[in-house]
Structure 1
Amino acid sequence: MRYFPAISIAFVATLWTIPATADVAQGVELLNAGDVSGAATEFAAAYEAGDGEGAFYLGRLFELGLGTEQDEMRAANLYSAAAEGGSTKAQVRLGLMYHEGRVLLRDYVEGTRLLCEAADAGDADGQLNCGLAYRAGRGVDADDVLALSYWQRAADQGNILAMNVLGQTALETGNIEQAAVHLKQSADLGNAGGMYEYAKLLMIGASPDPVTAYSYANLAVVRGLADAGVLRDEIEAQLTAEQVAAGQALAREWTEARILEESVGGEN
């Protein structure tokens, strides 16, 4: 039984993570404050000082057209320079560009090499995408064992998409219990897709839990997943008034706990 669409190469990551170097960190801070021009100046200074991350972030500005005209080829050139300067983020983005074959000529071998180099250097997005390449046999011989290993390493670093992929893969092999572990992990981190799929899992098996399933479906809806609304309503139609109230209370408790956690984290 499949609960996710077929696995595909995908890049899902926080765009403006805070790196270690001062110029890039300042650039990220300025960018988050809406000062794109100031951020670009800091990224350029970092790049000129030999910091590959500066080139990466400049590349993202050009790729997305932030503060400048969109220029994906210039972005690719900056990613190449950044990758040579040791940026694993740039290796991942450049590797995916080779896989996409839209800006650069499609080259699975080179793309997967870059992805897996980033993965082996500890980059979680590299691990996710290197695993996807091994699963699909793109640029390498297909190897499900290696794919699972890379995904688990990414999930251990908190990569939510890797958790979802592990959950899907467990479902494909009929391991419902293991799938539930991965999807609950994703759901509890606030991922709408994980919430939706976990809610579906809770409705099947020998001991279904429709109240908890209803709460997760309810949470997924307010996180923008329209399909979860259909599931939520279908579950609600099967519940008593008391069960509906209990499921809604669980969703409120989850939300309140998350708000408290985020407020405490913001104070530290």
Structure 2
Amino acid sequence: MTTRPFTITSIHIPDPSRYGNARRTVAMMRGIVIALILCVLAIPFVTEAEAGTLPQDTSKQITTLRQQAAAGSAIAQFRLGEAFQRGQHVPQDMTTAHHYYSLAATQGHIRAQFRLGFLYERGLGVKQNFATAARFYHQAAHHNHPVAQHNLAILFAHGRGVKRNLQHAYGWARMAEINARQISTHPTRSHKPLSADFHAKLDKLLSRLRTRLSDGQITRAEWHIQLASGIPT
């Protein structure tokens, strides 16, 4: 949008004593005030439609993230993917979210790997593919992402994208429980405590799996978990 510059020149206020008629003086003063108001109204303003939906600082932030993502920053790529997935400060676009998550996941970004698994499991922005979802969940789960471990356990329990294996399902669910418990005790900036709803779902899943596995299967699963994580179960 182009605007025409304007200037406010010096305004000479006449001496009322030069005018014998008080009404003429009042009229002139009124004209001066109107002129000042018109000068102020001449300053251009930007409407919401012209500026877009983003405040200026947020728009600059998104632009900066795009530049950083193009330069190869996995963190910026993940944050852009998250913004497009949730429709935060940008129009919601699952396909674009998938694009940025893929870039970050290729560089080993764990949360991006989990998000890709979620998109493929739900068919958001991509064709639903449980095998691909399981592959990305596996990547994040091996780096102790508790929600990825829980979701992978669900896939094993139902045989979606992987061969049905209740012992594997139990193992990943227990790993999720161990990691979720650790995060609750020692939260970090990137790993915040999980919701009570998540813990309830996890407890319910483990209870169901325990009723379908023998004591020997559970013991072997627990042994493998302890060996893999180095964490007392």
TM-score range, shorter chain: 0.5 to 0.7
What's 2:171 paired with?
A: 149
What's 1:97 paired with?
A: 119
The whole-number CA distance in structure 2 between the counterparts of 1:170 and 1:104 is 30
The whole-number CA distance in structure 2 between the counterparts of 1:97 and 1:126 is 12
- Asked whether the equivalents of residues 134 and 155 of structure 2 are also in contact (C-alpha less than 8 Å), the reply is yes
Shift of 1:126: 1.6
- Asked whether the equivalents of residues 113 and 136 of structure 2 are also in contact (C-alpha less than 8 Å), the reply is yes
Q: 1:166 to 1:75 in 2, by over 3 A?
A: closer
Report whether the alignment pairs 1:164 with 2:186.
no
The whole-number CA distance in structure 2 between the counterparts of 1:126 and 1:170 is 15
Q: Secondary structure at the match of 1:155?
A: helix
Shift of 1:174: 8.0
What's 2:148 paired with?
A: 126
Q: 1:117 to 1:173 in 2, by over 3 A?
A: closer
Q: Which amino acid aligns with 2:208?
A: E
The whole-number CA distance in structure 2 between the counterparts of 1:118 and 1:140 is 16
Superposed, which structure 2 residues align to 1:96-245 within 5 Å? Answer: 96-158=118-180, 159-160=194-195, 163-172=199-208
- Asked whether the equivalents of residues 144 and 179 of structure 2 are also in contact (C-alpha less than 8 Å), the reply is no
Report whether the alignment pairs 1:76 with 2:77.
no
Q: Secondary structure at the match of 1:157?
A: helix
Q: Secondary structure at the match of 1:81?
A: helix
- Which digits, 9 at most, give the CA deviation of each residue in 1:55-86, with x for residues without a partner? 11101111221112222111111111111121
The whole-number CA distance in structure 1 between the counterparts of 2:59 and 2:134 is 33
- Asked whether the equivalents of residues 104 and 112 of structure 2 are also in contact (C-alpha less than 8 Å), the reply is yes
Q: 1:39 to 1:122 in 2, by over 3 A?
A: farther
Between the aligned residues of both structures, percent identity stands at 26
Shift of 1:132: 1.5
Q: What TM-score comes out, normalization by structure 2 length?
A: 0.53
Shift of 1:94: 1.1
Q: Which amino acid aligns with 1:108?
A: F
Q: Secondary structure at the match of 1:62?
A: helix
For the pair shown, the structure with the greater C-alpha radius of gyration is 2
The whole-number CA distance in structure 2 between the counterparts of 1:144 and 1:174 is 9
Q: 1:62 aligns with which of 65, 84, 102?
A: 84
What's 1:50 paired with?
A: 72
Shift of 1:114: 0.7
- Asked whether the equivalents of residues 82 and 90 of structure 1 are also in contact (C-alpha less than 8 Å), the reply is yes
Q: What TM-score comes out, normalization by structure 1 length?
A: 0.47
- Asked whether the equivalents of residues 170 and 206 of structure 2 are also in contact (C-alpha less than 8 Å), the reply is no
Unaligned runs of 5+ in 1: 1-34, 176-268
Q: Which range is displaced more, 159-168 or 80-89?
A: 159-168
Superposed, which structure 2 residues align to 1:32-51 within 5 Å? Answer: 36-37=58-59, 39-51=61-73
Q: Which amino acid aligns with 1:169?
A: L
Matched positions, count: 142
Q: Secondary structure at the match of 1:110?
A: helix
- Which digits, 9 at most, give the CA deviation of each residue in 1:72-124, with x for residues without a partner? 11111111111112111111111111111242111111111011111012222
Unaligned runs of 5+ in 2: 1-56, 181-193, 212-233
